Amino acid sequence: MNKQIFDWKDIAESYYDKSVSLAILILLFAFIVSPKVEVKPYDRTIKIIDAIDIPPEIKERIKPPEETVKPVVEIVIVEDLDGEEDDDIEIIETIGVTSLDPYKEIQEKIFGSTDKFAIYEDEPFPIRNPAPEYSVFAKNAGIEGDVILQVEVFTDGSVGAIEILKSLMSGPGGLDEAAKKAVRTWEFSPAKSGGKPVACWVVFPVSFSLQ
């Protein structure tokens, strides 16, 4: 059985003329059907406005705008309706001088918010440190020693949060609470970095001795 072999080039050439004729017909149909587009030239017009000086006699004839009359409301203040004086009203004649500096930054104190690894050059030191009170039970028991505290010192020298690192006597009426109560009333010279006060934590002992 003989097989017929076709070359694809021969098949393509047979469709070439038909394709060209169909493309030309489509282009002619589109050209006939599509609307004609006319491009109109743009007309540019220039308007020149001349400024005219109004003569003085004409200016006098022009009436100025009428001014609107504002209504006048009469306010009547009645000092005493009943004819009696009100003794409950406090009259303040002067305002006292305030020491508030409007240019000073106000820092909100949040206990325990200071970074424990704050960097500073000058360490804080107490400038007012009343001694703690010895409890009666601790005196009778002869308890002596140190309570190690870690204290938060703010930029104004006030004391914030207090943590106990080494306890001596805990519980109500103990020496731990006595040390915290005393340090709560202390005042510090704050730590400084570059000459400016910074908040930090400081560790120091509070000593209890019977002698």
Specify if 116 maps to a domain: no
| pTM for this model (two decimals) | 0.49
Summarised one tens digit per residue, pLDDT across range 4-19 is: 555 666 666 777 778 8
In single-letter form, the type of residue at position 173 comes to: G
**What does 45-96 look like in DSSP terms, one character per residue?**
--------PPPHHHHHHSPPPPPPPPPP------S-SSS---TTPPP----P
Domain, as residue range, for 185: 125-208
| Whether the Cβ atoms of residue 151 and residue 195 lie closer than 8 Å to each other | no
Specify if 84 maps to a domain: no
pLDDT at res. 210 = 85
Specify if 163 maps to a domain: yes
pLDDT at res. 3 = 56
Summarised one tens digit per residue, pLDDT across range 148-163 is: 999 999 999 999 999 9
Q: What phi-psi label fits residue 196: left (phi over 0), alpha (psi between -120 and 50 degrees) or beta?
A: beta
Specify if 62 maps to a domain: no
Q: How many domains in the chain?
A: 1
Specify if 29 maps to a domain: no
DSSP single-letter state for residue 169: S
Handedness of CA 8, 9, 13, 16 (dihedral sign): positive
User: Is the model more confident about 65 or about 20?
Assistant: 20
pLDDT bucket at 121, cuts 50 / 70 / 90: very high
Structure tokens at 15: 């469709």
What's 133's domain CATH number?
3.30.2420.10
Give the mean model confidence (pLDDT) for residues 117-146. Answer: 90
pLDDT bucket at 146, cuts 50 / 70 / 90: very high
Give the mean model confidence (pLDDT) for residues 105-132. Answer: 85
Specify if 129 maps to a domain: yes
